[in-house]
């Protein structure tokens, strides 16, 4: 996945701990409560408080009819320190 940072504020946001957050939301169908439906939500959010996700879930509970059953959350930090591995030997072929 390539992320284009056009604006300095985008970089500051990512450096502040924000990363791509994915939530799989299982909810009950209003007309058939025994059936679960899945909804996938993605946005940039900060871990561990997840303010954007909590705002969305509050909106869901207050506005929508489908009762929430479960929420599974994954978060990936987009800016990570580079991984460095030292090698034990170097071979040259002529």
How far is 94 from 80, CA to CA, in rounded Å?
A: 37
Residue 89 lies in a domain: no
Is the model more confident about 81 or about 39?
39
- In this prediction, residue 36 carries a pLDDT of 95
Residue 81 lies in a domain: no
Residue 83 lies in a domain: no
Give the pLDDT band of residue 78 (cuts 50, 70, 90). Answer: very low
Residue 92 lies in a domain: no
Q: Number of structural domains, the chain?
A: 1
pLDDT of 34 higher than 90 = yes
How far is 14 from 11, CA to CA, in rounded Å?
A: 5
Residue 51 lies in a domain: yes
CA distances from 93 to 20, 32, 47, 87 (A): 43, 68, 48, 17
Quote the domain boundaries for residue 33: 8-76
How far is 54 from 8, CA to CA, in rounded Å?
A: 26
Which own/partner contact pairs does 52-61 have at CB distance under 8 Å and 24+ positions apart? 52/21, 53/21, 53/23, 57/25, 60/25, 60/27
Residue 85 lies in a domain: no
pTM for the model: 0.68
């Amino acid at each position: 996945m390539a992320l284009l940072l056009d604006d300095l504020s985008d970089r500051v946001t990512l450096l502040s701990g924000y990363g791509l957050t994915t939530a799989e939301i299982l909810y009950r169908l209003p007309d058939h409560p025994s059936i679960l439906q899945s909804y996938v939500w993605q946005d940039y959010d900060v871990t561990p408080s997840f303010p954007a996700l909590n705002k969305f879930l509050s909106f869901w509970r207050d506005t929508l009819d489908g009762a929430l059953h479960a929420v599974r959350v994954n978060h990936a930090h987009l800016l990570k320190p580079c991984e460095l591995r030292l090698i034990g030997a170097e071979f040259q072929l002529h």
